[in-house]
Amino acid sequence: MLSEISVIDDDASVRAAIDNLLSSHGYLVHTFASAEEFLQSPHFDEASCVVADVQMPGMNGLDLLTHMRSRGYIVPFIFITAFLDESVRARALQAGAICFLAKPFAAPDLINCVKTAPT
């Protein structure tokens, strides 16, 4: 089981809902309002998995994934988005995302993505 999951979304209600869901399944969750906040946090190096919104102000989710990969971080990425776009989905999966979920998604779908993340 993954130990620490970082959730990055500019919507506070989405962060809280995902935090509650993952915490109820025994995961330690850290939430962040932006990619920049996540990158500056002491939990950055501790993340076993990242759940990130695609569209956020400042650095978006795809840019965050690219940034982390360019620095050698291979942590599994799960993307969530309210704006499903097949070209963005394809780019995210090609860049190394393990799942891409459209909001609103079913709780079991996110849990299944987290459970299948390589450790």
Alpha helices in 1-116, H assignment, sequence order: 12-24, 35-39, 61-70, 86-95, 107-116
Token pair in block for residue 4: 């620490």
Work out the average pLDDT over 13-40. Answer: 97
Tell which wins on pLDDT, 40 or 117.
40
When pLDDT is cut at 50, 70 and 90, the band that residue 25 belongs to is: very high
Domains assigned to the chain: 4-116 (3.40.50.2300)
Residue 119 has pLDDT above 70, yes or no: no
Residue 24 has pLDDT above 50, yes or no: yes
Task: For residue 35, give Cα distances in angstroms to 26, 67, 70, 84, 115.
Answer: 24, 10, 15, 20, 23
When pLDDT is cut at 50, 70 and 90, the band that residue 1 belongs to is: very low
Q: Do the beta carbons of residue 8 and residue 56 sit within 8 Å?
A: yes
> What's the pLDDT at 2?
53
Work out the average pLDDT over 85-92. Answer: 90
Strand segments, DSSP code E, in the chain are 4-8, 28-32, 49-53, 77-81, 99-102
When pLDDT is cut at 50, 70 and 90, the band that residue 118 belongs to is: confident
